[in-house]
Amino acid sequence: MGAGRAGPVPPVRLPLLSSVAEQPLHRALGLTDGEFDRIRELLGRDPNHFELAVFSLLWSEHCGYKHSALLLRRLPSSGERVLQGPGENAGVLDLGDGLAVSFKVESHNHPSAVEPFQGAATGVGGILRDIAAMGARPIAILDGLRFGRDDDHFARAVGGIGHYGNCTGIPNVGGEVVFDDVYSSNCLVNAMCVGLLPSARIMSAKATAEGALVVVYGATTGRDGIGGASVLASADLDEGDADKRPTVQVGDPFTGKRLIEVSVELVERGLVLSLQDCGAAGLASSLSEMAADYGLDIHLDRVPQREEGMEPWEVMISESQERMVAIVSPEQLADVEAVIDRWELHRAVIGEVTSSGELRAFWEDDLVGSIPARHLTDGCPRYVVEQAPREPTPERPFELPPTREALLTLLGSPQLRSRAFVTERYDQLVQSRTVRRPGLD
């Protein structure tokens, strides 16, 4: 891999949105003045525009958990059967007899509020890839939904969940639905996936060997979803929601199914050293987590692209769906490429593992950005959330005996009615053999 030119990282041009052109760039990207000063302090210099774009996404609420991390750390995360706690793509528990279960719940609230079908569908796609990245085969999907009412918005979100699960052949086996006016302006869409794997075969996302190769495979990279993690997850929704539609990713469940099969086979055959889902913040998030203990040199111009004229920063932060990143030893690269080619997915060797501790990005062998990987992950600021007690509400008197009208009102409540109108959208009889491995049918 080319080392690129030496010296300071050159400036990189990043166009501004016209509506925020009068703001400093860091504010336009969602960073506060204090966070910008912290970045300058960590780097010991001013970041260029490429680096600032990466920081803005990795330090967004969706990727950095700036306000929720301190609260989440209060939850129990260790135990006799915990094989993998926080820090990887999903948790893993020991079931005994050499078998383990991997599971994760993840929200896709703001994307589902803006574009309910694709927002909910890509939430399912992302959670499936998280489970596959642990070396597990996804076997079941669940969901928790909170909406203001049973309207078209809700129906489209349910349709997106059912569409992705049905097409990949992974059944939705359970969930819950709650309607309340408090969710009218900001719905909650929580997707969960469960997978099975041998307890001795848990994968990690982190690089473990200098000189290993970085391989991206799956769908091509485009401009869809650029900025989604910061624009959607860390911003308020208002009358301008339609302007945020380009930041919602578009999923392809059939490519997602092939991606799962490739990933499971690569892990089963021991062909990958590390495996990582490419989701929110795109390659920027995946690569920074992989580089944390070592370092990565990445050539962004080698990433398979489906649009002409993409800039380095666009390739780096694009949230195009159905992509994975693997770290592979050079000796096993040919076998890895053969598996990917058999499933007709795009692939490319885009870099290598180094011992620098830096995530360095190149474009046609020119260095466009260099950031110590730990600054993007461990360096993210944490904020204490101020708490205020909720005002008590007066208790309503309990009427005995309840009137016929009250019983009818209660039975007609959307909280108690049949959920068949949801479950009928999910094919619970589909099996993961819907698509078989080539040569095994």
Phi, psi of 139 (to 5 degrees): -125, -15
Cα–Cα distances in angstroms (integers) from residue 166 to residues 157, 160, 163, 423, in the given order: 14, 10, 5, 12
User: How far is it, in rounded angstroms, from Cα 296 to Cα 353?
Assistant: 5
Q: Is 67 a catalytic residue?
A: no
- Catalytic pick from 26, 49, 62, 110? 62
Q: Is 49 a catalytic residue?
A: no
Q: Hey, which residues does 305 pair with through a beta bridge?
A: 221
133, amino acid identity: A
Question: For residue 38, what are its two tokens?
Answer: 């912290």
> Whole-angstrom distance between the N-terminal and C-terminal Cα of the chain?
40
- Catalytic pick from 26, 108, 163, 375? 108
User: How far is it, in rounded angstroms, from Cα 29 to Cα 15?
Assistant: 11
Is residue 144 within 8 Å of 172, Cβ to Cβ?
Answer: no
Catalytic positions, written as ranges: 62, 108
